[in-house]
């Protein structure tokens, strides 16, 4: 009987030890987490047709989908009204709307192939936003 109790205690301690060791191994993997780029807040907006560029900033959250947005005055040379854009709103379909203070869309962008965004609307707009490192 003593042997059975001793064996049961060893098995139970081994099980508890395995659970505790397993919990300790769930730490963040620095290799994986280090390869995930942080979301940029500063971008260079470039009009590919006119070769104009300016700096824009995606700011603090104002709702669960929207953030503040600011653009320098020279951004109107990149796209008319871009300097007046005030919000960056992320939609479920992956598009982002840059809107002015009245809520009117200035540009609709979507993530591009690189570290930035490309315009979807209005049609004919060749504006790219590239993350500033």
Task: Answer yes or no: are the C-beta atoms of 16 and 23 closer than 8 Å.
Answer: no
Give how far Cα 38 sits from Cα of 35, 86, 131, Å: 9, 22, 11
The pLDDT value recorded for residue 115 is 74
Distance CA 110, CA 122 (A): 12
In the DSSP assignment, the letter for residue 76 is G
Burial of 21-34, coded b for 16+ CB within 10 Å and e otherwise, reads eeeeeeeeeeeeee
Specify the pairing of strand 66-71 against strand 95-100: unpaired
Supply 122's token pair: 């209005």
Domain boundaries defined on the chain: 2-34, 42-131
Phi, psi of 104 (to 5 degrees): -75, 130
The pLDDT value recorded for residue 114 is 76
pLDDT per residue rounded down to tens, the chain (133 residues): 665 555 555 556 555 555 555 555 556 666 665 556 556 789 999 999 888 999 999 999 999 999 999 999 999 999 999 999 999 999 999 999 999 999 999 999 999 887 789 999 999 889 999 998 7
Radius of gyration of the chain measured on its C-alpha atoms: 26
CATH classification number, 42-131, choose in 1.10.3470, 1.10.3680, 2.40.128, 2.40.50: 2.40.128
The pLDDT value recorded for residue 27 is 66
Supply 3's token pair: 């042997």
The pLDDT value recorded for residue 41 is 82
């Amino acid at each position: 009987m003593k042997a059975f109790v001793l064996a049961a205690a060893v098995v139970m301690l081994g099980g508890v030890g395995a659970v505790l060791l397993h919990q300790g191994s769930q730490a963040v993997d620095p290799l994986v987490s280090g390869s995930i780029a942080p979301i940029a807040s500063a971008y260079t907006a470039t009009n590919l047709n006119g070769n104009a560029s300016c700096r824009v900033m995606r700011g603090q959250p104002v709702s669960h989908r929207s953030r503040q947005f600011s653009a320098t005055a020279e951004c109107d040379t990149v796209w008319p009204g871009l300097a007046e854009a005030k919000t960056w709103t992320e939609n479920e379909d992956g598009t982002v709307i840059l809107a002015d203070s009245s809520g009117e869309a200035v540009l609709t962008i979507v993530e591009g192939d690189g570290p930035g965004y490309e315009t979807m609307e209005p049609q004919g707009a060749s504006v790219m936003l590239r993350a500033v490192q």
